[in-house]
Amino acid sequence: MTDPTKQDHAWLVLADGTVFEGRPFGARGSTTGEAVFTTTWTGYQEVLTDPSFYGQIVTMTAPQIGNVGVNAEDSETVGEPPRVAGFVVRDASPLASNWRSQQTLDAYLARYGVVGISDVDTRKLTRHLRDHGAQNGAIGTDPPESLLRRAREAPDMNGLDLVRAVSPKEPYAWTEGRGVWGTFPARPARHHVVVLDYGIKRNILRCLADSGCRITVLPASASAAEVLAQRPDGVFLSNGPGDPAAVGYAVETVRGLIGKRPVFGICLGHQLLSLALGGRTYKLKFGHRGANQPVKDLTTGRVEITTQNHGFCVDLATLPAGARSTHIHLNDGTSEGLSAEGLSAFSVQYHPEAAAGPHDALYMFGRFTAMMDANPRPSGS
Task: Please identify every residue annotated as catalytic.
Answer: 267, 351, 353
* Gyration radius of the chain over CA positions: 21
| Pair type for strands 176-177 and 30-38 | unpaired
Cα 293 from Cα 350, distance rounded (Å): 9
Cα 100 from Cα 352, distance rounded (Å): 25
